[in-house]
Amino acid sequence: MHGVVRYAANKAAQRGDLQAILVADPSTRANPRQVFEQIWASGSPEHTRYRKLVASVFTPRTVARMRVMVQERADRLLDELVELGVRSISSASIARSFLSL
- For Cα atoms 74, 88, 78, give the angle at the middle one, nearest 5 degrees: 15
pTM of the model: 0.39
Which tens digit of pLDDT belongs to each residue from 3-15?
777 777 778 778 8
**Spatial distance between the Cα atoms of 15 and 30, rounded to a whole number of angstroms:** 21
Sign of the torsion angle spanned by Cα atoms 3, 35, 39, 101 = positive
Which tens digit of pLDDT belongs to each residue from 39-74?
777 777 877 877 777 777 778 888 888 888 888 888
CB contact at 8 A, 39 and 32: no
